[in-house]
Amino acid sequence: MDQADSVSADEIAAFKRDGAVVLRSKFSSDWLTKLRDGIDTDLANPTDNFTRHTTDPSAPAYFEDFWAWSKIPQFTDFVHNSPCAPLAAGLLGAPSINLVMDNWFLREAGSTSRPPFHQDLSYFDFEGTMCVLWLPLEPISKDNGIAFVKGSHLWDKLFMRVRFADGHPSFEPTEVAGQTYHPPPDINADPDAYELLQWDMELGDCIFFDMRTLHGGLSSTTPTETVRRFTLRMTAPDGVIQYRGDWAKDERAQFEAEGYCEGDRLDGAFFPRLWPRKDVAGQR
């Protein structure tokens, strides 16, 4: 394992304590170029998960696609061969890492759309020791990046899934399978009430965060150039399918169609083993 694949004791401690950590110079320019090319390929021939979050069709847009890794060759190469998985293994202290989901976002120049504050864990029917890679494909200032609520992964609280299109909860607070889901706090209404983590980032820098950490767009800055971000959700061996609510039924239908059901491990063809690389094929 070379330096780009490894994390320090201080970085591991920050990830566990704060719920998010910035890692510097972990991805080469070749990987970033490959991801930009992959997004262009996806835009030219989108998957069924492709979404335009901007409601005004004439306005500069905010696009997203996910679970495209098996359809876009550039993404396939990245998830299996970039430093993403060994970095996740180091931060989670995990002997192996499986892919949960790939995701990319593109915000056109002039777009006023931005991600609302949310918690990734409640969006999908997954449970386990998981982390998220957030990799910008252009240099960013902390004022135009993502803000993380420090330590919110340790609140032992689940927050409702929030629609990216308008920032409103998709459902009223409810109890599902004995767990209560709450509306996320309105961070933008009073940001000074929270300790927020934000970083200036150069090309090759990335952020890893816990799936339970609250995060979102704090700034109303409108980009003057198109910006792109690539993200991956990854899991330690304890990752399993766990029902969270009917709001995740569309995503659940996709892996159920591949033969997965409640309680299955996140492993196999749909959730491939990424680390160690010799076990990439993986078996359920």
pLDDT digits (tens, 9 = 90+) for 171-197: 566 787 888 888 888 888 889 999 999
Instruction: Extract the tokens encoding 213.
Output: 């950490």
Mean pLDDT of 240-244: 94
Over 70: is that where the pLDDT of 258 sits? yes
Q: What is the pLDDT of residues 148-178, one digit of tens each?
A: 999 999 999 998 887 665 545 555 667 878 8
Report pTM. Answer: 0.90
pLDDT, tens only, 200-237: 999 999 999 999 999 988 766 566 778 899 999 999 99
Residue 57, pLDDT score: 77
pLDDT per position as a tens digit, 116-147: 888 999 889 999 999 999 999 999 988 778 89
Please give the Cα distance from 35 to 127 (Å, whole number).
28
**Interatomic CA distance for residues 243 and 152, integer angstroms:** 22
